Structure 1
Amino acid sequence: MTVEVHLVKAGRTKIRYPAAPVADDGCHLVVRAPWASGAVRDFGFVRFEPGDVFTEHYWRDRWYAVKEVRSGDGVLKGWYCDITRPAELSGGVLTVEDLDLDLWVSADRAEVLRLDEDEFARSGLAGSDPEAAARAVSALDELQALSLDGGLEGLLAHR
């Protein structure tokens, strides 16, 4: 069985890919998928490349998704965190709306980087939906705090 992950941004599907369900407790949904692009993506602080495996954590009641990234041989690269509206699963399709803000946490926690804050500001969300913008910033702050105090693994534990 698979689900199809749809990452939506600004009302359009940015990417879609199949993923294998790992766990779902009704609120916290975990799927696993290979790197969805056939090409290397070098961010400067991490490279995503063919063979990488993403264990992706989504919540139906939280404003973020956390993706544990491992190389093809199982070495942890870190966690890429997307700030999103709560995930929706319907008919085998997992839809997640990306709100532009991101957080990168390296495996050794030497780097905790807030990303795309300029893109978020340009998105206009603060003007069009101030409540969603406030929730997005709060979610980014929450994930950053969890990554610094070691709470990220507890958040990602699934039953």
Structure 2
Amino acid sequence: MSGTDVTRTLTPGDDITVRLVKGPRGDVRYPAVVNRDDGTHVVVRAPWAGARTRDFGFVRFEQGDVFTEHYWRDRWYSVKEVRDPGGRLKGWYCDVTRPTLVERAGLVVEDLDLDLWVSADRAAILRLDEDEFLESGLEDRDPHAAAQARQALDDLERLARRDGFAALLA
């Protein structure tokens, strides 16, 4: 991708844009602030980027919610800790993605259509959008990426059940 610099680290406090590449459905872009970047693991904070409340049935994302988002340059997923305006943990929304790229303007994250939701109490661990993943045709177009995506979803579920991402996000 033009402007991509795998060696660049982001500076805490910088305003950036997160670009979530959603294939034919179009990209989603939103502002975030860098918390930290160690060269592999990038952490940003962002308000809920939706124009309105989104009710998934198992969680509602609404104005005032704050996402602390964890991205890796060497892993096939991202983990987003979601808190309400008062700071109460709602849970973690995990996207299966290709490893994150850094551009001049921020992060580029290619969504691979598999997701995991983990409630704050870890009573609900839900694998999401497996139908969208199958419909995407990734398994035919790029079997290696599809296998990485399935492994990433399994890894995320295992980590969620083990310690709710405590060790991963430290």
Whether the TM-score (by the shorter chain) exceeds 0.5 is yes
Q: Percent identity?
A: 64
User: Residue type of the partner of 1:58?
Assistant: Y
Q: Which moved more, 1:88-97 or 1:98-107?
A: 88-97
- Alignment: residue pair count: 157
Residue 11 (structure 1) shift: 5.7
Aligned to 2:148: 135
Q: Structure 1 residue runs of 4+, over 4 Å off?
A: none
Aligned to 1:53: 66
* CA RMSD across the alignment: 1.0
Q: Distance in 2 between matches of 1:56 and 1:34?
A: 10
User: Residue type of the partner of 2:137?
Assistant: G
Aligned to 1:69: 82
Aligned to 2:97: 84
**Contact conserved, 1:3 with 1:21, CA < 8 A, in 2?**
yes
**Contact conserved, 1:6 with 1:13, CA < 8 A, in 2?**
no
Q: How does 1:108-147 map to 2 (within 5 A)?
A: 108-147=121-160
Residue 153 (structure 1) shift: 1.3
Counterpart of 1:100 in 2: which secondary structure? Answer: strand
User: Residue type of the partner of 2:167?
Assistant: G
Distance 1:80 1:151, change over 3 A: closer
Counterpart of 1:147 in 2: which secondary structure? Answer: helix
Residue 104 (structure 1) shift: 0.2
Residue 90 (structure 1) shift: 1.5
Q: Distance in 2 between matches of 1:138 and 1:130?
A: 12
**Contact conserved, 1:8 with 1:14, CA < 8 A, in 2?**
yes
Compute the TM-score of the two structures, normalised by the length of structure 2: 0.90
Counterpart of 1:97 in 2: which secondary structure? Answer: strand
User: Residue type of the partner of 2:169?
Assistant: L
**Contact conserved, 2:70 with 2:80, CA < 8 A, in 1?**
yes
**Contact conserved, 2:117 with 2:125, CA < 8 A, in 1?**
yes
Greater strand proportion:
1
Q: Distance in 2 between matches of 1:85 and 1:12?
A: 17
Aligned to 2:11: none
Aligned to 1:29: 42
Distance 1:151 1:62, change over 3 A: same
**Contact conserved, 1:105 with 1:147, CA < 8 A, in 2?**
yes
Residue 162 of structure 2, aligned match among 126, 149, 153: 149
